[in-house]
């Protein structure tokens, strides 16, 4: 939990071009579980080991990308306190009443300096993970596709990495775990509100509000390889991996949903604690920082965004 009471990534709203095509992919290939569909046609999904009502929302739109990334906070008092802190930082907030987003309490929306829209909330309906809470077992039955454990993080691209870094660290209480420096300029910041290597990352480019990827966590390298098998047999557009990052030390594979949004399956990485020193990579070592085994950049990895 962040020093200001942010618990974890709560959900992401992804813009897709065809809601039925996206639903087929996210349910049967990625293996998320559909929990609802609202009156506007948005589809609500969760990873199997999440207890909250949803962590992914598919919203049909003319262009793909990220609509909103939301974080769950500890309670209503924390939500109110953080709203005041964001306003005092100089960023306007908008408050949405409970249940204006399905199964979710009051939400506070704001736009970070990189142009990304974020929300904070304290309550979401619990639906369980398919197992009892007494003598639960280890895995829910009848899972499909890759079936990741949970929504893990987003990597976001924008023009003011330093501004979003300061908002998340100074106001929301995140910690910097790793960064990439080009001389005196920070061109990527990896931030954690938990003990993971990152819960959100900001990457510099001369654009506003772009999505690099939405990441989902699995247990092990073997599960990353299983994801690769499922991607290949389903003829999903594949980009990179399975391989390993230098940054975060995570094991990874990247691929694309039918609308062109990049997804990641992620495993491993180190445990983060606030007394651990933040790590710095220099821009000349970026290929090794991103892909430790290959030590070279993919042509699409830093150019394709939605």
CATH fourth-level superfamily of 152-290? 2,3-Dihydroxybiphenyl 1,2-Dioxygenase, domain 1 (3.10.180.10)
Catalytic one among 119, 213, 223, 239? 213
The verdict on whether 213 is a catalytic residue reads yes
Contact at 8 Å (CB) between 117 and 11? no
Summarize the confidence of residues 63-85 as an average pLDDT.
98
Q: Is 198 a catalytic residue?
A: yes
154, 200 in Cβ contact below 8 A? yes
The pLDDT tens digits for 147-205 are 999 999 999 999 999 999 999 999 999 999 999 999 999 999 999 999 999 999 999 99
Whether the full predicted model's pTM is greater than 0.95, yes or no, is yes
The confidence score (pLDDT) of residue 1 equals 84
pLDDT over 70 percentage in the chain = 100
Per-residue pLDDT band for 292 (boundaries 50, 70, 90) equals confident
* 254 counts as catalytic: yes
**The domains spanning 6-121 and 152-290 adopt the same CATH topology:** yes
Q: What is the model's pLDDT at position 44? A: 98
pLDDT band at 297 (very low <50, low <70, confident <90, very high): confident
Q: Which of 25, 123, 165, 254 is catalytic?
A: 254
Whether residue 147 lies in the annotated active site? no
The one catalytic residue among 198, 204, 212, 223: 198
Query: Domain 6-121 has what CATH class?
Result: alpha beta
Active-site residue (options: 54, 153, 204, 223): 153
Q: 262: Cβ–Cβ under 8 A, 6 or more apart, which residues?
A: 211, 212, 213, 214, 239, 254, 255, 256, 304, 305, 306
Catalytic residue among 54, 223, 245, 251: 245
pLDDT at 147: 98
Where do the domains of the chain lie? Answer: 6-121, 152-290
Mean pLDDT of the chain: 97
């Amino acid at each position: 939990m962040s020093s200001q009471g942010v618990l974890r990534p709560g959900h992401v709203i992804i813009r897709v071009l065809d809601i039925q095509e996206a639903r087929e992919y996210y349910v049967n290939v990625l293996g998320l579980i559909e929990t609802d569909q609202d009156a506007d046609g948005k589809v609500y999904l969760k990873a199997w080991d999440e207890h909250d009502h949803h962590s992914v929302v598919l919203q049909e739109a003319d262009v793909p990308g990220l609509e909103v990334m939301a974080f769950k906070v500890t309670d209503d008092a924390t939500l109110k306190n953080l709203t005041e802190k964001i306003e005092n930082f100089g960023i306007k907030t908008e408050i949405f009443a409970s249940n204006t987003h399905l199964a979710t309490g009051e939400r506070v929306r704001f736009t970070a300096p990189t142009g990304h829209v974020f929300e904070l909330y304290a309550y979401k309906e619990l639906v369980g993970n398919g197992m009892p809470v007494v003598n639960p077992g280890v895995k829910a039955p009848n899972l499909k596709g890759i079936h990741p454990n949970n929504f893990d993080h987003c990597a976001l691209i924008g023009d003011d990495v330093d501004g979003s870094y300061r908002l998340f660290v100074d106001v929301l209480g995140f910690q910097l775990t790793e960064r990439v420096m080009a001389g005196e300029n920070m061109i990527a910041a990896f931030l954690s509100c938990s003990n993971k290597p990152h819960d959100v990352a900001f990457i510099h480019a001369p654009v506003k509000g772009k999505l690099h990827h939405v990441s989902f966590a699995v247990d092990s390298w073997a599960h990353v390889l299983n994801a690769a098998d499922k991607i290949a047999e389903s003829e999903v557009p594949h980009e990179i991996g399975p391989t390993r990052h230098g940054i975060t030390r995570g094991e990874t594979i990247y691929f694309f949903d039918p609308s062109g949004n990049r997804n990641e399956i992620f495993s491993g990485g180190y445990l983060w604690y606030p007394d651990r020193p933040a790590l710095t990579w220099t821009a000349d070592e970026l290929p090794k920082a991103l892909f430790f085994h290959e030590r070279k950049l993919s042509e699409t990895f830093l150019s394709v965004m939605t």
